[in-house]
Amino acid sequence: MLSFMVYLSRPRLSAIGQVFLFCGMCLPTIAAGDLIIKSGPQRVSLIELYISEGCSSCPPVEKWLSGLWNDPHLWRSVVPVAFHVDYWDRLGWKDRFAQPSFTAQQYGRATAGTVHTPAFVVDGREWRTWSAQPEQ
């Protein structure tokens, strides 16, 4: 039996959220076999943000991420996700959202062999020049 939990922080569900909810409700009724889901011609970028509650540079980035709720591009051209890493925990400020698997994931994406927070990965590639982008 497939079970899942849907957590909504907004009263209305976006169009992409409705699609995920519909697919999640249909999964138990799909017979065994291959399920192929294809995207349309429009490209959507996955933005991964690696942060930590123990990072003093992360609050401005978290504020930017929170501001995307009102951005018309959200879910249409960008899908942002935040991963809390645990390598700052040893300094005394334990991040309650951190998971070792998120840290391992960040190390797997790091091109220079080092990791830092805040850090962005866009479409699977590390984006080290994000802070040089002009504010809009």
Domain boundaries defined on the chain: 45-130
Task: Report the C-alpha gap between 108 and 30 in whole angstroms.
Answer: 34
Identify the weakest region by mean pLDDT among 44-48, 117-121, 125-129. Answer: 125-129
- The arithmetic mean of pLDDT across residues 56-72, rounded, is 89
Q: If DSSP codes are grouped into helix, strand and coil, which group holds residue 74?
A: strand
Identify the pLDDT of residue 125. 85
For 45-130, the fitting CATH number among 3.40.30, 3.30.70, 3.10.50, 1.10.540 is 3.40.30
Q: Residue 47: enclosing H or E segment and its boundaries? A: strand 45-51
Looking up tokens 């190390």, which residue turns up?
Answer: 107
More confident site: 10 or 73: 73
- Exposed/middle/buried for 48, CB within 10 Å: 0-12, 13-18, 19+? buried
Neighbours of 31 (CB within 10 A): 5
